[in-house]
Structure 1
Amino acid sequence: MEDNAELETFRRQWREEVSRRTKPSKPEPAHPKLSRSSAAPSSHFPPTRHEASERKDEEEDGGATSVDHGEIVHGVGHLSLGVSDEDAFHSRVPRSEPKSALEHFERAVEREAEGSLGDSLHHYRKAYRLDAAVDKTYRNKHFASLWKKTAQTPASSASAGSATTTQQPTDEPTILPTPELIASFAHLPIPQAEPVIENTPPPPCPIAKVPSEVLVEILRHVAVIDPAAFCRTALVCKRLAYHFANEQHIWKRLCQGSEFGFKAMHYSFACDIHGIPEYTLGPRYTPFPRSIPVQIPEPLSSWGEVFQMFPRIRFTGIYISTVNYTRPGAASVYQNTSWNSPIHIVTYYRYLRFYPDGTVIYLLSTVEPLEVVPYISQENLKAARAISQKQHHRQGPDAASAATDTVPPVAMGALKQAHRGRWRLAKPAPASDSSEEATQGDIISEYDSLPVKAQSTGEPDPRDLVIETEGVGPKYMYLLHLSLRSVSTHKPTNSNMTPPNPSKNTKLAWKGYWSYNKLTDDWAEFGLKNDRAFVFRRVRGWGMH
């Protein structure tokens, strides 16, 4: 009897404590229930706010960049793709091992930029063992010319100032603004190529005789096929640079199209986590529909700027987050001191590949991008899961095992851990008649800084991205809350230099990461202490229709 009385007393105290702890949470709305598509409703978020949403990224400038007319032409170098960007994840020719101290130091810097801190540390140690002053040699080789230019600039300006006091310049060139300079290219002919052999006729240039109407139509087809190739045409000659900057109907076609524009953006989930489409009776929202007249948002001045700056997911590559952290290793049992204990540098990667149909592939792996990125696709993911199920049930090989002939075992092993999912962007808030400050354009004008008005008024941030993926088991689901950002650029050391135009929509900053238990209706928060933002890298052949 005494035992039963003590047990009842313990139960009563436990119930009182549980009820006391749950009293403050009663007024709050209940956790979101799952629909038949095995996912939480898109309009609800976990009950707690993730600390990652308040964390400021180290690479952000912290201020909004002003939009200038003609700035799109200055940023052509960033829009165009170099060979290294297009071939970043394809097989490379094996490089020879560095021998000298300077070669080891250069390889260490390169590996550190790629995120492989372990390899970079290995090359740094070898470089300093061969030459203790290798860092000075590296600086003299790569930065000596820059130092000479910066040192000569004040001297040249001082000498120019003294010359102006003595005599007035006669032929001073006039500096035109960028829009006027581009407008002066309108009637220039397309120059012919230089002759292959000196004193011989130059090779023919048939495009030089093409009328402007036909030339613009060719550029429109090039833009629809690949916007990056359209951007590279501005580097060919002044005439094509004029058409690149002034043919706004081409940029409007890109913005309204479904190939790379905003018609392919989803502002509500278009499928479930497994990729099965969800059909709705009404038409899906798109910010710039073709059926009605549309206007350029107020802060922007051209459709080219809309295509660059308006929040948009890219399908021509992959978003990669490189995570590095250190942890102490176990000390040797034969040594009492801990000063020489090993320190492990851990590196892993998060991959996100988006598809225009609203699906996404999410992968967390320690395999480097060069070995796994070219093989991240829905077909290979399906084949990897089929092979995993065959091995689990110990069945014989079939047609699904044929994928191992083209996909390396390292990539196939990583794809077995990939998760399918779906994505959507936050629908921009409609413009208010009473308050013009909280319009959609005001949020875009603060594109590189966190929109304070959107937070204070409770309006959705058009840069927000919500991803729901499969969990570690059938009863779990992962929710990723990200935000589109721009890759920040370093300010030039010389004040006379024009700051480069940062690439837009090439970065996904963390705002939260949760796990949802479908059976118990509970949310669990993942810590993002060491995680960094996703950065976009283009892969050749991806997203081309």
Structure 2
Amino acid sequence: MQDNAELESFRREWREEVARRSKPRSTQAAPQAAAAPPLTRLPPTHHAAADRKDLEEEGPPPASFDPEELAQRVGELSVQPEKEADEDEFTRRDVTEPNTALEHFERAVEKEAAGKLGDSLQHYRKAYRLDDAVDKKFRNKHYAHVWKKPAQPIPDQPSTTSATVPAPVEAEILPISELIASFAHLPIPPADPVVENTPPPPCPISKVPSEVIVEILHYVALRDPAAFGRMALVCKRFAYHFAHEQQLWRRICQSPEFGFKGMHYTFACDLHGRPIYTLGDRYTPFPTDVPLEIPKPLSSWSEVFQSYPRIRFTGIYISTVNYTRAGAASTFQTVSWNSPIHIVTYYRYLRFYPDGSVVSLLTTTEPVDVVPYISKENIMAARATSHKGHQRQVSDIGKSLSGAADPVPPVAQAALKYGSRGRWHLTSPDPLPESEDQPEPTPTPGEPSTDPRDLIIETEGVDPKYVYTMHLSLRSPSSSKSHMNPSKNTKLVWRGFWSYNKLTDDWGEFGLRNDRAYVFRRVRGWGLA
């Protein structure tokens, strides 16, 4: 009898659960859940099947569903003023909480593109509880042009006049190099008038000789190559100088600020940043005192600068890692499909310095809260404060750890105390000249790498007897298909991660199952005048 009573109780609870789930969509938002629901594959609902039928009638779906493109389109709806081209993305702005189902769906797309899968899942659940057809409304709002059928061509109408119209002459298609060369003698056009039917503002630079323009571009290129690239979009005359003046690109390649004279192909300092050799002893693949040749298969110095392996000092490399783990089931939960699954997100940060040092940080703090304050000085100050056994009080908020103008918030200070100092070097593209002054490198497991894109990083471990060794490799985004794409060498993919015990001379390898590649993000003011 007791078994029958328990069976009836289970059946009654199961019927109530099924009845509650089969009710029409509610107009109230669900309370925020502490953990994500179990990731199970559910059968399609009626509205999902109807949407799929509409897609078959209207046409094929898009070729790809890019979350970054969706986030960009949603961001364009903001009334905020447009950012400058070189502004970083690590400034926090006020964000209103979404109310409607469509707003929750748009916020979920933004969170998913940023790698915050837990927050994205919560907004998706709220959106579907408010409106089970919100995905169709989102598609109609942001992708109506994708599903729009092309207009039917209008049949030729009989001519009412006897005049004959000559057939259009097809324009000759020139190669890119000849097309840019044709811009050499074009004048610099004036700006558009501010008010309609008024003369345009004066353009003094249009009367400047070409020699002076090249000298101006020379200073712009050495100050910020990215600004030099944006000047090519101003007019055709600047585009010609951008592509034709290869001596400017060779000067950028030889500069220590952005070029390969600032790269290191052996360790230049120890783990604490103390230099090992002087600047004059540094090896560089493009010295200034010998005749230079463009390495094959490249054909110009601009391609050398854009394609050759190069570490960037004007920003930070970020690796966003997401993984799931099973949560503890409640004592009141008797079925496994109702057990929670947590989505864990953490970040790895790497900031490189021209002197051969590097800063590594592993934390769960989001980039907007910690990236502006990542520096060697702030990390050492945060670690010193932590070792003294006291934390910054609320009344101390506003003081900078490293003496900088911007204060370090408590959230960033708590994360920076786990930062580690280290050193880095690239693999030499050519055999290094033998020198007795070169320091003996730290042994690495396996055979040494010969790929010039490889990067070796050594950082402090959790204990002074340990040294962490990272083996990374420079790569370009998957969308980069041409040598002229400026977004090359912006990824660092993992090739190995080890821990070296200096006392026992043992190596231990870390697993990289959940780790993802580092992606470069520019930060305003870092490495720029």
Q: TM-score range by the shorter chain?
A: 0.7 to 0.9
2:525 matched residue in structure 1: 541
Matched, 1:469 2:453: no
What aligned pairs does 1:76-87 form with structure 2 within 5 A after superposition? 83=83, 86-87=86-87
What corresponds to 2:139 in structure 1?
Answer: 139
- Residues 248, 281 of structure 1: CA spacing in aligned structure 2 closer, same or farther, 3 A cutoff? closer
User: 2:358·2:422 contact (CA, 8 Å) conserved in 1?
Assistant: yes
CA distance in 2, matches of 1:318, 1:418: 14
The answer for the alignment partner of 2:178 in structure 1 is 180
Q: CA deviation at 1:339?
A: 1.1
Distance in 1, matches of 2:391 and 2:217, equals 55
Of 123-132 and 281-290, the range deviating more from structure 2: 281-290
Who is 2:277 aligned against? 279
Q: Using a 3 Å threshold, how does the CA distance of structure 1 residues 113 and 459 change in structure 2: closer, same or farther?
A: closer
| Runs of at least 5 residues in structure 2 that lack an aligned partner in the other structure | 1-81, 157-164, 433-446
After TM superposition, the structure 1 = structure 2 runs for residues 415-426 of structure 1, keeping only pairs within 5 Å, are: 415-426=416-427
1:68-467 equivalences under 5 Å are 83=83, 86-148=86-148, 152=150, 169-279=167-277, 283-391=281-389, 402-403=400-401, 406-430=407-431, 460-467=450-457
Cα deviation code 1:56-110 (max 9, x no counterpart): xxxxxxxxxxxxxxxxxxxxxxxxxx93874444433301111221111111111
Q: Deviations over 1:382-438 (max 9, x none)?
A: 2212211222699xx99997529810001011000000000000011459xxxxxxx
Other-structure match for 1:503: 487
Partners of 1:414 and 1:337 in 2: CA distance: 39
Post-superposition Cα deviations, 1:157-201, rounded to whole Å, max 9, x if no partner, equal x999xxxxxx99432222222111111111010011122223333
Runs of 5+ consecutive residues of structure 1 not aligned to the other structure: 1-81, 161-166, 432-456, 492-497
The superposition leaves residues 509-534 of structure 1 with CA deviations (integer Å, 9 ceiling, x where unpaired) of 00000011111111111000011000
Residues 193-227 of structure 1: CA deviation (Å, up to 9, x unaligned): 12222333321111111110000000010010001
In 2, Cα distance between the equivalents of 1:310 and 1:242?
23
Q: State the shift of 1:538 in Å.
A: 0.5
Amino acid corresponding to residue 103 of structure 2 in structure 1: E
1:11 matched residue in structure 2: none
- Distance verdict in 2 for CA 1:309–1:356, change over 3 Å: same
For residues 144 and 489 of structure 1, the distance between their equivalents in structure 2, rounded to whole angstroms, comes to 25
Q: What is the alpha-carbon distance in structure 2 between the residues aligned to residue 416 and residue 271 of structure 1? A: 22
8 Å contact 1:194–1:203 — kept in the other structure?
yes
Contact 1:429 1:459 in 2 (8 A): no
Cα distance change on mapping 1:418 and 1:84 into 2, 3 Å = farther
Check conservation: 1:510, 1:533, Cα contact below 8 A. Answer: yes
* 1:383/1:400 contact within 8 Å kept: no
For the residues of structure 2 that align with 1:95 and 1:501, how far apart are their CA atoms?
Answer: 34
CA contact (8 A) 2:472 2:493 kept: yes
TM-score (ref. length: structure 1) = 0.72
Task: Say which structure, 1 or 2, has more relative contact order (CA 8 Å, 6+ apart).
Answer: 1
Partner SS state of residue 235, structure 1: coil
Q: How far apart are residue 152 of structure 1 and its match?
A: 3.3
Rounded to whole Å, the distance in 2 between the matches of 1:226 and 1:198 is 35
Change (3 A) 1:334 1:84: farther
Aligned AA (1:536): F
Q: Are the counterparts in 2 of residues 315 and 356 from structure 1 also a CA contact under 8 Å?
A: yes
- Give the alignment partner of residue 516 of structure 1, picking from 500, 513, 517: 500
Is contact 1:424-1:465 (8 Å) kept? yes
> Are 2:397 and 2:409, in contact at CA under 8 Å, matched by a contact in 1?
no
Task: Report the equivalent of 1:487.
Answer: 477
Residues in 2 aligned to 1:490 and 1:171: alpha-carbon distance in whole angstroms: 35
Q: Which moved more, 1:87-96 or 1:467-476?
A: 87-96
Separation in structure 1 between the aligned mates of residue 102 and residue 384 of structure 2, nearest angstrom: 48
Contact 2:307–2:483 (8 Å) recurs in 1: no
The CA distance in 1 between the partners of 2:302 and 2:508, in whole Å, is 42
Q: For residue 363 of structure 1, what is the amino acid of its counterpart?
A: L
Q: Is the 8 A contact 1:419 1:469 kept in 2?
A: yes
User: Where in structure 1 do 4 or more consecutive aligned residues deviate above 6 Å?
Assistant: 397-401
- Return the alpha-carbon distance in structure 2 between the equivalents of residues 96 and 470 of structure 1: 42
Q: C-alpha distance in 2, partners of 1:505/1:246?
A: 23
Distance 2:485 2:391 in 1: 55
The structural deviation recorded for 1:358 is 0.3
- 1:486/1:502 contact within 8 Å kept: no
Offset, 1:467: 0.1
2-structure distance, mates of 1:281, 1:218: 29
**C-alpha separation in 2, matches of 1:281 and 1:290:** 14
What is the percent sequence identity of the aligned residues?
A: 68
How far the C-alpha of 1:378 sits from its partner, in A, is 1.5
1:50 corresponds in structure 2 to none
Aligned to 1:535, the other structure's residue is in SS state: strand
Whether the aligned pair in 1 keeps the contact of 2:427 and 2:454 (CA below 8 Å) is yes
Is the CA contact 1:88–1:370 (under 8 Å) kept in the aligned structure 2?
A: no
Amino acid at match of 2:506: D
Q: What is the rounded CA distance, in whole Å, between the counterparts of 2:426 and 2:207 in structure 1?
A: 45
Q: Mean alpha-carbon deviation: is it higher for 218-227 or for 101-110?
A: 101-110
Secondary structure of the residue that 2:94 maps to in structure 1?
Answer: coil
Instruction: Tell me if the contact between 1:323 and 1:531 (Cα under 8 Å) persists in the aligned partners.
Output: yes
CA distance in 1, matches of 2:118, 2:221: 42
SS in 2 for 1:350: strand
- Map 1:41-80; keep pairs closer than 5 Å: none
Closer, same or farther in 2 for the Cα pair 1:218/1:128, shift >3 Å? same
Give 1:443's aligned residue.
none
